[in-house]
Structure 1
């Protein structure tokens, strides 16, 4: 169970002590068994796969957009609303840190993509437009890298929804047909963490693709 605080201990309304108490109660409960890694904050607990920080300062910052929270801590009671379905346990000997994350913007060139590949990146995660689209230069370079063996994964800049290869003519369908892996509704940072673990396990390209697509939903 991961915890934290939005307000420091010397502020008028520190939230850290309550988050610690709630997290201990959650971790010690029978209800928590089998739920996997979680974040407990503001009397709610969320699956690590689904949760994201949505606000810079509010105490109710952690939400799970598409899937919803797992449950609540109501005083000394743990209230479970659902169990996570998309879960995996990995026994990795280590992680591979050489995984880069590139957020696409209007008119972005392939400069950063080429730089990452030329400087030892084992994998590259792209945060693309909408359903997983890119600029022409990014598409061309991403496909070329994927065909040479670099793992390239597409996620979305959007906070909600899933990537899906739909559009041709340089869009997501072109990327997918060129070997780029589409990561469902995983965010860019989460796809990067997953890749770091999977590469550390030494999975072949087929197994790696399977795991990403499975956990992407």
Structure 2
């Protein structure tokens, strides 16, 4: 029986980081140093592709697309059984969802990282890499393997800053509807966090800065204020797409509240409900829909 071949795409992050004399961590390790022993323990062959070596908090959509392209290139080889992406945890859920949106292959793509640096005396990196490599043979779709738990990419969110079980799954699986790819620059899409008594200044500023899309992180099930509703209407009049999500960790947006600033008023002003997608992944979907020219309302209705 042939030993499965897994392509490992590395991007940096904590899993590739070491701590310097001042106690500051930064990504210093190449992919080869991260997978050798884990590959043997997982019973797979590996081919390492270093796509990036950065802190994931700095990733742009262009950078994330570099990762998507590296995964697609790997899957062009019919001998490859699956792909593992080693990634920083700060934006792992965004890259995972961008991969999920553009994955139309029977073979799995598994993302992992670590909460502790590679040189930490009790690092979680080797166990996570080994889990990811095994999952790249046995799982399906785009998933996150972390802390012994396997989480679907769509709807996933980092649930804790330091806990070794870092990622939570959505309360129920989200639909997987692949999206066509497109060339050209990524549109600017901003995230605005709502708060009680908020005015419309931040939304107006996004429009003035050239945003083509805004994700509004509302309160409760997706609510704001009359001033925000007015700003949403101004943004839509200017041709800027607005998507409504919520700061609540679980559950969908519900456009049922009124009183001038509720979700029903925001929807009437042109905001599109994000369903169960939270702000980070809603931003990725909105940018991808705008880039490919798909109707935003239809795109979120199919995937949120």
Alignment counterpart, residue 152 of structure 2, candidates 47, 61, 69: 47
> Which residue does the alignment assign to 1:183?
274
> Which residue does the alignment assign to 1:22?
131
> How far is the alpha carbon of 1:85 from its aligned partner?
5.2
Q: Does 1:215 align with 2:303?
A: yes
> How far is the alpha carbon of 1:108 from its aligned partner?
2.2
> Which residue does the alignment assign to 2:194?
104
Contact 2:128 2:148 in 1 (8 A): yes
Q: Does 1:36 align with 2:141?
A: yes
Q: Does 1:90 align with 2:195?
A: no
Structure 2 CA distance for partners of 1:101 and 1:211, relative to 1, 3 Å: same
**18-27 vs 90-99, which moves further:** 90-99
- After TM superposition, the structure 1 = structure 2 runs for residues 194-205 of structure 1, keeping only pairs within 5 Å, are 194-203=285-294
**What is the distance in 2 between the residues matched to 1:158 and 1:16?**
30
- The C-alpha deviation readout for 1:16-37, integer Å capped at 9, x for no partner, is 11111111111122xx2xx322
**What is the distance in 1 between the residues matched to 2:118 and 2:279?**
32
> How far is the alpha carbon of 1:134 from its aligned partner?
0.7
**What is the distance in 1 between the residues matched to 2:259 and 2:203?**
20
Give the length in aligned residue pairs: 193
> The residue matched to 1:27 in structure 2 has which SS?
helix
Contact 1:183 1:191 in 2 (8 A): yes
**What is the distance in 2 between the residues matched to 1:142 and 1:85?**
27
Contact 1:147 1:179 in 2 (8 A): no
> The residue matched to 1:167 in structure 2 has which SS?
coil
Q: Does 1:61 align with 2:166?
A: yes
Gaps of 5+ in 2: 1-109
**What is the distance in 1 between the residues matched to 2:263 and 2:151?**
30
> How far is the alpha carbon of 1:137 from its aligned partner?
1.0
Q: Does 1:121 align with 2:211?
A: yes
Q: TM-score, normalised by structure 2?
A: 0.61
Q: Once superposed, what is the RMSD of the aligned Cα atoms?
A: 1.5
Q: Which 4+ residue blocks in structure 1 deviate beyond 3 angstroms?
A: none
As a proportion of its length, which structure holds more strand? 2
Alignment counterpart, residue 7 of structure 1, candidates 116, 126, 135: 116
Q: Does 1:167 align with 2:272?
A: no
- The C-alpha deviation readout for 1:132-170, integer Å capped at 9, x for no partner, is 111221111102322442100100010011111112232
> The residue matched to 1:179 in structure 2 has which SS?
coil
